[in-house]
Structure 1
Amino acid sequence: MILVTRLNGSVFAVNPDLIQRVDSTPDTVITLVDGAKFVVTEPLAEIIERVMAFRARVVATAHSLEESGPGADVLELPHHTTEPTTPSDTDGELPAPVPLHRRRP
C-alpha cells in the first residue's frame, strides 16, 4: 500500500496494484481499475515514485524469501511507527512482529 493525501488533508492508503492511471489535470487524480477516482495533493511524479518504491520492496522481500531457502517457514516484517499510538508504546519498544507464513503449494 502507498499513502496519499486527500485535498482536505486526510491520509489514506491505496493498493498500487489497483491503480489504472494517474492524471495531472491540474490536480492529481488516481483512477482505480474499478473506476473509483481520488483527488490527491501529491504530484504525479511523487505517486510514480511511491509505486516504484512499493514494487521494489515487494521484489526485495521475494528475493529475500528465495535466499532463505525452503526451511524458512516464517517471515517477520518490522512494524514502522512514526508516533506512539498508545501509552505502552512510549517506552521506545515496538510491538512484536506478526509472523507471516508462506503458502504451501
Structure 2
Amino acid sequence: MIVITRLNRTRFAVNPDLIERIQATPDTTLTMVDGATFIVTETMDQVIEKIISFRAHVLATAAAWPQPSALTGEH
C-alpha cells in the first residue's frame, strides 16, 4: 500500500496494483481499475516514486526472506 493525501489533507492508503492511470490536469488524479477516481495533493512524479519505492521494498523483503536449505531438502 502507498499512503497519499486527498485535497482536504486526509491521508489514505491505496493498493498501487489497482491504479489504472495517473493524470496531472493540473491536479493529480488517480483512476483505479474499478473506475473510482481520487484527486491527491502529490504530484504525478511523487506518486510514481511512491509506487517504485513500494515495489522495491516488496522485492527486497522477498529477497531477504529465509530460504530453505537445498542441502537439507526443506521446502
Give yes or no for TM over 0.5: yes
Alignment of 1:62-101 (within 5 A): 62-65=62-65, 68-70=66-68
Taking the aligned partners of 2:44 and 2:50, their CA distance within structure 1 comes to 10
Quote the offset at 1:70 in angstroms.
Answer: 2.2
Taking the aligned partners of 2:29 and 2:12, their CA distance within structure 1 comes to 14
Counterpart of 1:7 in 2: which secondary structure?
coil
TM-score of the pair, normalised by structure 2: 0.88
Across the aligned residues of Structure 1 and Structure 2, the Cα RMSD in angstroms comes to 1.4
Q: Which residue of 2 aligns with 1:56?
A: 56
Counterpart of 2:42 in 1: which secondary structure?
coil
Taking the aligned partners of 1:28 and 1:64, their CA distance within structure 2 comes to 34
TM-score of the pair, normalised by structure 1: 0.64
Higher relative contact order (Cα pairs below 8 Å, separated by 6+ residues): 2
Q: Find runs of 4+ consecutive structure 1 residues off by over 3 angstroms.
A: none
Aligned length, in residue pairs = 70
Identity, % of aligned positions: 54
Residues 45-71 of structure 1: CA deviation (Å, up to 9, x unaligned): 000000000000000011111xx2227
Taking the aligned partners of 2:16 and 2:48, their CA distance within structure 1 comes to 10
